[in-house]
Amino acid sequence: MNYQRPPVPIKTRAEYLEPFQDDKQDTHTSTEESKQKRALDAALAIREFEIGLYWKRAGYFWAFIALVATGYFALITAENAPLQNKNELQLLLSGLGLFLSLCWFCVNKASKFWQENWEKHVDLLEDDIMGPLYKTLHEYECGGTSRWSPLKPYNYSVSKINQLLSFAIVLVWLYIFCDNIAQLLLLFICPAGKNLIIILGLLAMILALFFDCKSSNLNRKGFTMKRNDIEG
């Protein structure tokens, strides 16, 4: 669909709600039948739909990545395959694993974007219909130790952790792919250097897990949205 007009910027809740306001002169419009109520129901339904798709896509990519990994490591242990063909197939499978992992990572970022988009719609629509339900969060008084305690809750973001995991898988396949290229080009990389790369990469992922995977409400504070209008 082509939109002839430029997108309309929206920076306040009043600007956002304007198209959803029913004609005040229409006395037959009840709260249950209002545009805002129908928009809220749609936003909640689409949000749940996006969350469901998020995990279905994760399972889809896990299946393909696991299949490629199985083929790759089966090829490594094969003893009868010619060395040249074996190296070429290893490079092919590692490249395919890297590509699939990158696709999964990008799909995770896109899914997170659309999930937060519909959560923002719910934030802006819910107050007049059912009150600030989704914006009201329970605060645990854990004395600042809940991040490290195995027995206390902490507001980690499940989707962020999954996104970090997909990025870690990308790094693993990138390492394998580069190692295969080095073998084909007869480049020697000392085992100590490889081990250092693995250890540093693992430490970086652990630090990101504990310090960058907290669930945040940044999308609930200031916001800028755009609405595409069709020229009639």
pLDDT in tens, 3-25: 556 777 888 888 888 888 765 54
pLDDT for the residue 26? 52
DSSP symbols for 129-167:
HH-STTT--PPP--TT-TTT-TTS---B-HHHHHHHHHH
> Per-residue pLDDT for 194 more than 70?
yes
pLDDT in tens, 46-57: 999 988 888 888
Cα separation, 178 vs 172, whole angstroms:
10
Q: Supply the pTM of this predicted model.
A: 0.81
> Per-residue pLDDT for 221 more than 70?
no
What share of the chain in percent tops pLDDT 70?
84
Confidence of residue 44 (pLDDT cuts 50, 70, 90): very high
Residues 6+ away with beta carbon under 8 Å from 29: 22, 23
pLDDT for the residue 8? 77
Cα separation, 208 vs 164, whole angstroms:
8
**φ, ψ for residue 26, nearest 5 deg:** -85, 100
C-alpha dihedral sign at 205, 95, 93, 68 = positive
